[in-house]
């Protein structure tokens, strides 16, 4: 039986609790949406001011060299590498997740087309994040491939001789279900299939070992668990075994081996550098670095392993409290109970009112979000989604969040009209 007091005791014993001091969180808010937009690192405001007034204002164009602007995508890539089982020089921070997916999926299809031209299919999960599916759909149209969407339990059976690429998101945005990256990659490789892993809900949330899993390509998001700010640059990793072959189609001058030679022909940079396209958003990269540093600050305290232990304790507590205190209100659990199959979020289902309940919670300062069932196809229910980021969420926060949820359900306040109006962004 959990009580407010046992939750407070867990906070008192939490060696990661001081990491919260790195963030500017608004008063009176319990923020359970760091899986959608991470919170503001306190260091970011001063860093932006420095980049703008000193590096840009005073340094002007000299800052590409003197302030290290030119190297930022690689330098930040090396920091991200530490979180995802990559080595220095294997990752760049650049562009958006969607655009990076276009690059790596193109590269994977190019390799497959050389090695196995008869393979004309991309397999993914039906409940993958839509932009991933849309990008794949666009590429299929461009190249005459087909996109096959399957349920998670049918992935193994879909790995057939006509498949070129298996494209999956490691942790599902809607349910928080996590794939066994190493096992799935092994099965794909055994069937002659390349893998593309989206780490949008993994990087900074769960330990990832891309090299250990022998994955082929990976991308991920900078503004979720990496706290890089709205629209922060994303990242790209490619297994070095593809190093001399991973041509990508957005062959802009920043991916050139020698951009300032200004030659008329394109010579790709060696290694991951060729995944850059054009001039990079330096201010955004500077903010992303502040976000990355908040996660790397956990390294002396046990790093991703320690963060994962706390994350599982938080999600376990959330599930237990919902079951202990919100029974009889029609809530279901979409997130797997098994630790190995769960990311850092808890997703609840409800036949009715999921959107309004989330709105009522937000009005009380408990910020989670709502994700619609799959376009009314009826396969998935609407979801109330709660991201539990161990860097700045404590056990008492979980207690209060579930208590608010209980009160919203008990009082029926979610039925008020103001909680039933949809906005452009949910």
Ligand X SMILES: *Cc1c(COP(=O)(O)O)cnc(C)c1O
Cβ of residue 28: shortest distance to ligand X, in angstroms?
27
Site for ligand X in 223-262 (CB under 6 A): 234
Beta bridge partners of 149: 124
Catalytic residue list contains 274: no
Q: Residue from 55, 90, 198, 216 that binds ligand X (CB under 6 A)?
A: 198
* Residues in contact with 334: Cβ distance below 8 Å, sequence separation at least 6, in sequence order: 174, 175, 176, 347, 348, 349, 380, 381, 383
Residue 253 in marked binding region: yes
Angle at 167 between CA 163 and CA 168, to 5 degrees: 135
Size of the site for ligand X (CB under 6 A): 13
Residue 380 in marked binding region: no
Candidates 125-133, 292-300, 351-359, 376-384; binding stretch for ligand X (CB under 6 A) = 125-133
How, if at all, do strands 383-387 and 369-371 pair?
Answer: antiparallel
- Binding characters for ligand X, 162-181, by CB under 6 A (x = yes): -------x---x--------
Rounded Cα distance, 29 and 163, in Å? 47
Q: Does 201 bind ligand X (CB under 6 A)?
A: yes
Q: Write down the residue that tokens 């190093």 correspond to.
A: 243
- Written as six digits, the tokens of 177 are 């279900």
Complex with ligand X: residue 119 or 224, whichever CB lies closer: 224
- Written as six digits, the tokens of 225 are 């668990």
Catalytic residue list contains 385: yes
Cβ of residue 5: shortest distance to ligand X, in angstroms?
36
- The 10 Å CB-count burial string (b at 16+, else e) for 315-333 is bbbbbebbeebbeebebee
Beta bridge partners of 197: 168, 218
Q: Residue from 97, 218, 349, 359 that binds ligand X (CB under 6 A)?
A: 97
Residue 244 in marked binding region: no
The count of C-alpha atoms lying within 13 angstroms of the C-alpha of 86, restricted to the half-sphere facing its C-beta, is: 30
Of residues 128, 114, 212, the one with CA closest to residue 164:
114
Cβ of residue 373: shortest distance to ligand X, in angstroms?
17
Catalytic residue list contains 145: no
Phi and psi angles of residue 198, each rounded to the nearest 5 degrees, phi first: -95, 120
Cβ of residue 125: shortest distance to ligand X, in angstroms?
10
Of 31, 385, 395, 397, the active-site residue reads 385
Candidates 129-137, 175-183, 249-257, 350-358; binding stretch for ligand X (CB under 6 A) = 129-137
Using an 8 Å Cβ cutoff, are 107 and 247 in contact? yes
Q: Residue 88 carries which DSSP code?
A: T
Catalytic residue list contains 198: yes
Candidates 37-45, 59-67, 193-201, 416-424; binding stretch for ligand X (CB under 6 A) = 193-201
Of 23, 102, 223, 419, the active-site residue reads 223
Q: What DSSP element (H or E) covers 217?
A: strand 217-220
Residue 131 in marked binding region: yes
Cβ of residue 200: shortest distance to ligand X, in angstroms?
3
Q: Residue from 8, 42, 131, 251 that binds ligand X (CB under 6 A)?
A: 131
Catalytic residue list contains 224: yes
Helix, strand, or coil here: 299?
A: helix
Q: Where are the alpha helices (DSSP H) in 205-346?
A: 210-213, 282-296, 303-325
Cβ of residue 135: shortest distance to ligand X, in angstroms?
9
How, if at all, do strands 217-220 and 234-238 pair?
Answer: antiparallel
Complex with ligand X: residue 228 or 394, whichever CB lies closer: 228
Complex with ligand X: residue 7 or 221, whichever CB lies closer: 221
Residue 53 in marked binding region: no
Of 102, 129, 145, 217, the active-site residue reads 129
Residues that bind ligand X in the complex, under the rule CB under 6 A: 96-98, 129, 131-132, 169, 173, 198, 200-201, 221, 234
Could you list the residues known to form a binding site for pyridoxal 5'-phosphate, using ranges. Answer: 97-98, 129-132, 169, 198, 201, 223, 253, 279
């Amino acid at each position: 039986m959990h009580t407010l007091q046992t939750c407070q005791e867990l906070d008192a014993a939490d060696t990661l609790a001081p990491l919260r001091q790195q963030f500017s969180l608004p008063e009176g808010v319990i923020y359970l949406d760091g899986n959608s937009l991470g919170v503001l690192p306190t260091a970011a405001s001063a860093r932006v001011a420095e980049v703008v007034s000193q590096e840009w204002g005073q340094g002007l164009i000299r800052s590409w060299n003197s302030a290290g602007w030119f190297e930022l995508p690689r330098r930040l890539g090396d920091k991200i590498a530490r979180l995802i089982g990559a080595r220095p020089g294997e990752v760049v921070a650049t562009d958006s997740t969607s655009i990076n997916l276009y690059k790596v999926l193109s590269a994977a299809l190019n390799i497959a087309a050389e090695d196995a031209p008869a393979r004309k299919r991309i397999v993914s999960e039906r409940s993958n994040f839509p932009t991933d599916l849309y990008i794949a759909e666009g590429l299929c149209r461009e190249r005459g491939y087909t996109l096959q969407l399957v349920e998670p339990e049918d992935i193994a059976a879909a790995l057939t001789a006509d498949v070129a690429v298996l494209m999956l998101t490691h942790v599902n945005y809607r349910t928080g279900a996590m794939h066994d990256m190493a096992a799935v990659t092994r099965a794909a490789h055994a069937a002659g299939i390349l893998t593309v892993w989206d780490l949008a809900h993994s990087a900074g949330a769960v330990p990832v070992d891309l090299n250990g899993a022998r994955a082929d390509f990976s991308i991920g998001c900078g503004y979720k668990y990496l706290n890089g700010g709205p629209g922060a640059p994303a990242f790209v990793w490619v297994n070095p075994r593809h190093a001399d072959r991973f041509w990508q189609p957005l062959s802009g001058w920043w991916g050139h081996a020698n951009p300032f030679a200004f030659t008329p022909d394109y010579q790709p940079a060696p290694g991951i550098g060729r995944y850059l396209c054009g001039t990079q958003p330096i201010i955004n990269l500077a903010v992303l670095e502040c976000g990355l540093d908040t996660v790397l600050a956990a390294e002396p305290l046990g790093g991703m392993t320690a963060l994962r232990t706390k994350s599982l304790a938080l999600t376990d507590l959330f599930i237990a409290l919902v079951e202990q205190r919100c029974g009889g209100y029609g809530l279901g659990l979409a997130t797997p109970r098994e630790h190995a199959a769960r990311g850092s979020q808890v997703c609840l289902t409800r036949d009715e009112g999921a959107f309004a309940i989330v709105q009522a919670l937000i009005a009380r300062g408990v910020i989670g979000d709502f994700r619609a069932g799959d376009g009314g196809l009826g396969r998935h229910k609407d979801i109330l989604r709660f991201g539990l980021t161990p860097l700045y969420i404590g056990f008492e926060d979980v207690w209060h969040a579930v208590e608010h949820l209980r009160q919203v359900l008990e009082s029926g306040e979610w039925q008020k009209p103001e909680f039933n109006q949809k906005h452009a962004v949910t």
